[in-house]
Structure formats: structure tokens, C-alpha cells
Amino acid sequence: MNILIVDDSRLLRLSNERALVKAGHHVVAADDGEQGLRLALEQKPDLVVLDMMLPKLSGPEVLRALRQNPDTASIPVLVLSGLPQCNENKLITEGATAYFQKSGLLVENGPDLFLKAVERLLAKGVLAKAAAAH
């Protein structure tokens, strides 16, 4: 599967990219919102992992632009944020498919939980595409 990571933290971007590649995925990465949105429009990935605090174009702005474009509206978006979990419902309302708190990556089994969240969203996306094709 093709996954786009949009995160300005080089360390998190590289560690998540390594984990996803090791799990068998093709990963493209962007370090700001403008580049992330451009790559999403060009490549139409199977999943976008999106940070909320980004330079040039914020995460919420990228999320809104993805949801408003018919070519990217159905791409699942996993919001990866340092914001407290109490923001999860707001982010889901704004178009995020799921939410993963950055601090969750730092706990034991955190990277495994992140991969499980990614795999769950990719599986949902595959099922949705299959249903839409029928």
C-alpha cells in the first residue's frame, strides 16, 4: 500500500517511515503542509498520516483541502498529533478517519499500536473501494 506521511518532525517522520517500510508499505514523506497536499493530489495514496502542527499549511487546512477535493475526499487520514486526545472528536468531525497521539509512539509497544492503527485503516479503505466498485 502507498502511504503519505506529512510531519515536520524529522525524527518521527523517519522512524514512522522505517516502521511502515519494514511492514511492506511504500512511503512518501513531506515535511510541510503545502508539500503534503501537493503529494496527496499527485499520488493519491491509500492512506495519509498527517501531523496537525505544520509549517506553510497547517494540518487542519490540509485535511480540509483533502476532504473538499473529489480526488482525495475518500482517502483515509490518520491524524498524528501532540494535541491531547480530547481533540479527537473535533478532528473526526473535521474529516479525520482516526487519531493517534504522538506521545503514544514513545510508550512501550507504541510503534506496534501505530502500525495496527495503520493496518486497520488500510483494510477499511480496501473494503470501501471494493464496495464502491460494485
Amino acid (one-letter) located at 40: A
Give how many domains the chain has, as a whole number.
1
122/66 Cα distance (integer angstroms): 17
Amino acid (one-letter) located at 110: G
pTM of the complete model: 0.90
By percentage, how much of the chain surpasses pLDDT 70?
87
Sheet holding 2-6, edge to edge: 26-30, 2-6, 47-51, 77-81, 98-101
Q: What is the pLDDT of residues 52-85, one digit of tens each?
A: 889 999 999 999 999 999 999 999 999 987 766 5
Residue 8 has pLDDT above 60, yes or no: yes
Range of the domain at 74: 2-133
pLDDT band at 103 (very low <50, low <70, confident <90, very high): confident
Say if residues 88 and 43 touch (Cβ distance below 8 Å). Answer: no
**Cα 53 from chain centroid?**
13
pLDDT at position 131 is 54
Mean pLDDT of 37-44: 96
By percentage, how much of the chain surpasses pLDDT 90?
55
Residue 39 has pLDDT above 80, yes or no: yes
CATH of the domain at 93: 3.40.50.2300
